[in-house]
Amino acid sequence: MATDGGTASDDLTPTYREEGSFERDMDYVPDRITKDARTPEHGPTDVRLWPVEPGRYRLVAAPACPWANRSLIVRHLLGLEDAISLGTPGPTHDARSWTFDRDPGGKDPVLGIERLQEAYFARFPDYEKGITVPAVVEVASGELVTNDFPWITHDLFHEWRDHHRPDAPDLWPDECREEMEEVMERIFTEVNNGVYRSGFAGSQEAYDDAYERLWTAMDWLEERLTDRRYLMGDAITEADVRLFTTLARFDAVYHGHFKCNRNKLTEMPALWGYARDLFQTPGFGETVDFEQIKAHYYVVHTDINPSGIVPQGPDPAVWQTPHDRAGL
């Protein structure tokens, strides 16, 4: 599997290399949920293995966060809503933790906690790292199982197959897996994380480098998607899920807030058509909450936006306009 490390939420206190470039934390709780707690073929195996068991786990995923948004999409595409329940923290967490401030009484209705931090501490009382989403929590114990977000979606597909809906898409096709790994690696390093390297750059030189790398990759994607409907051809894969969550936030947040402003997504014909195509596909658009997305970035990142003012635009109605990509 392509390396996809990084803090799964948006850091309040970014860390930097000496030259001022943003460096994403790559250390997670790496436990895996596998069928019958088996040793998986791919990925880390020297970890605690938990068995697939419908109803045992709760996915905690804030709609505001792009890394968590992946898991929301995959859970929906595979039809796992009845097998894995969902908790949704609000968008404006503080330095301590994501909170369930939008639930009645400010508590998750299943876990009964106010802060996701409580599930981390239930498993690791001395946990010192950031409290990130997505996270999988064991309902009975209230303990964190894993927050290793790239493997969460990987295992939802490979290990929970017995509980997928009958017409669930093949998100990891064997015939193109090697190429897909390479595509996802470039998307993560240059686009998913590239917007953060621009937004959290600590020097002009670091920003300039991040900006150039981002737009080189965006131009590569524009070309790649000019004559193919999806990244790997004519069917949606995990690669499309991973790219979509960044594109969905691009004009609303990354263009201005993170200074990724060479042009807007709406000004790139292939990428904009592709993004709308996915948005209008069941499982994608309904997981996107632009109000929460904007509230998260513009309120939480006080170092970038000290006023806390949240912009009104852009108009989300543009995402429902025709994309004309079905014939590719």
Task: Tell me if residue 260 is catalytic.
Answer: no
294 has a pLDDT exceeding 90: yes
Output the CATH code of domain 174-320. 1.20.1050.10
9 has a pLDDT exceeding 90: no
Kindly name the residue from 28, 65, 211, 274 that is annotated as catalytic.
Answer: 65
Domains 15-163 and 174-320 belong to one CATH topology: no
CA 244 from chain centre, in angstroms, equals 9
Residue 2: predicted pLDDT:
35
Q: Across residues 96-123, what is the average pLDDT?
A: 97
pTM of the model: 0.94
pLDDT 10s digits, 50-74? 999 999 999 999 999 999 999 999 9
More confident residue, 172 or 17: 172
Q: Return all residues near 325 (Cβ < 8 A) that are at least 6 apart.
A: 229, 273, 274, 277
Task: Tell me if residue 65 is catalytic.
Answer: yes
Q: Which token pair is 196?
A: 């953060």
pLDDT 10s digits, 206-262? 999 999 999 999 999 999 999 999 999 999 999 999 999 999 999 999 999 999 999
6 has a pLDDT exceeding 70: no
21 has a pLDDT exceeding 90: no
Shortest CA distance to 57 belongs to which of 170, 194, 167, 156?
156
Q: Across residues 254-280, what is the average pLDDT?
A: 98
8 has a pLDDT exceeding 50: no
Kindly name the residue from 57, 120, 196, 274 that is annotated as catalytic.
Answer: 196
Chain mean pLDDT for the chain: 94
pLDDT 10s digits, 143-166? 999 999 999 999 999 999 999 999
120 has a pLDDT exceeding 60: yes
- Residue 86 burial by CB count (10 A; 0-12/13-18/19+): exposed, middle or buried? middle
Q: Which CATH fold topology does 15-163 show?
A: Glutaredoxin (3.40.30)
Q: Where are the domains of the chain?
A: 15-163, 174-320
Residue numbers in the known binding site for glutathione are: 98
pLDDT category of residue 7 using cuts at 50, 70 and 90: very low
3-state secondary structure of 123: helix
Q: Across residues 267-287, what is the average pLDDT?
A: 98
pLDDT category of residue 184 using cuts at 50, 70 and 90: very high
Q: Residue 272 carries which DSSP code?
A: H
1 has a pLDDT exceeding 50: no
How many other CB atoms are there within 10 angstroms of residue 199's CB atom?
21
Phi, psi dihedral angles at 259 (to 5 degrees): 60, 30
Beta strand pairing status for 57-60 and 143-146?
Answer: unpaired
